[in-house]
Homo-oligomer: A and B are copies of this chain.
Amino acid sequence: MKIGLDVMGGDHAPEAAVLGAIEASREIMPQTRIVLFGDRSLIEEILKRENQDPDTFEIVHTTEVIEMGDNPALTFVKKPDSSISVGFKYLHEGKISGFASAGSTGAMMVGSMYTVKPIDGVVRPAISTIIPTEEGESSLLLDIGLNVDCKPDVLYQYGIIGSVYAKTFLEIDNPRVALLNIGEEPEKGNLMTKSAYELMQGSSEFNFVGNIEAKYLFSKKIADVIVCDGFIGNTILKQTEGFFRILKKQGISSPFVDSLDDEVVGGTPVLGINATVIIGHGCSGPVAIKNMLLQTEKSVEAGLVEKLRESFK
């Protein structure tokens, strides 16, 4: 298997990306090969400095870089030789099986939606994150920012997508899917969650267990998969990030607190599209990049895309 990495994306590129790739190369399966997309001379310079055999990687030289100010929608037209544009071209042509980047989220999304495209039957793909719990096991939260005005049928599909992901990655047989809401009772919530509850109730496509309040987000008490609108999911994530930062600043540590560090998680898969695409935080350091690559490998190896396609047949 070949997996691609955008070396030019992220606040600490290309340094962090290349260092992360070197670390990942020591942990991936022997038959996996990492393909680096970016400026060849910059990449080779770092590899040389790190005394890393350049043959560890396949390098695809690209001449353009997507900047933060660039309009993501125009990425593939205006900068066809950017690392992200070329990466998606390779992905689309099957030359790589997965693609990861800590660069422009917008450009990665445009590539996912218009080059790779949603799986037939999926109304809206989602991005998700693993959330740690006080019990030490993981749950899944989606959507965390791709769809900020979710319709109820989209939330319903997130139940299916989240279930497949939890079965595949969290190794949970019959994942409990809950709808994030402001009360446990079915009649609680806003217009969106009330309608979504009605759709989800009695679903035969996933194991719906009802509403979950945010106080049980970081607990295994209620659910394994939590679905919500992207605005809410993104807010939850950023609030967690804020808490973590303050606690760390105050020198507070515990297994639970430390598990909130998103550097460990790596990246966010785009779920519901026809290939494995992982988007990392802009601030990703080498550890996050490494974990993002391992996650990409694992996702391809587990056949996540094929399983999702199967669920929407």
Asked if A235 CB lies within 8 Å of chain B CBs, one says yes
Interface flags, A130-157, vs B, CB<8A=1, else 0: 0000100000000001001100000000
* A189 close to B231 (CB less than 8 A): yes
Residue of B nearest to A213 (CB): B238
Distance from A253 Cβ to chain B, minimum over Cβ atoms (Å): 9
Residue of B nearest to A236 (CB): B239
Which A residues between 200 and 247 are near B, CB-CB below 8 angstroms? 213-219, 229-232, 234-243, 245-247
Report how far A268 CA is from B86 CA in the complex, Å: 54
Main secondary structure of the interface of A (DSSP, over half): helix
Q: Which of B134, B232, B242, B245 touches A235 (beta carbons < 8 Å)?
A: B232
Contact A215:B231 (CB < 8 A) given known A191-B149, A252-B252: no
Asked if A257 CB lies within 8 Å of chain B CBs, one says yes
* B182 close to A238 (CB less than 8 A): yes
* B254 close to A242 (CB less than 8 A): no
* B219 close to A242 (CB less than 8 A): yes
Asked if A41 CB lies within 8 Å of chain B CBs, one says no
Q: Which of B190, B193, B235, B243 touches A182 (beta carbons < 8 Å)?
A: B235
Contact A246:B218 (CB < 8 A) given known A148-B182, A182-B238: yes
Asked if A48 CB lies within 8 Å of chain B CBs, one says no
Query: When A and B form their complex, which 10 residue pairs have the shortest distance between CB atoms, in order from nearest?
Result: A215-B242, A214-B238, A148-B190, A214-B239, A182-B234, A215-B238, A214-B235, A134-B246, A215-B241, A190-B231
Q: A193-B231, A218-B243, A232-B235 are in contact. List 10 more A-B contacts (CB 8 A).
A: A134-B246, A149-B190, A180-B235, A213-B238, A214-B239, A214-B242, A216-B242, A219-B242, A235-B236, A252-B252
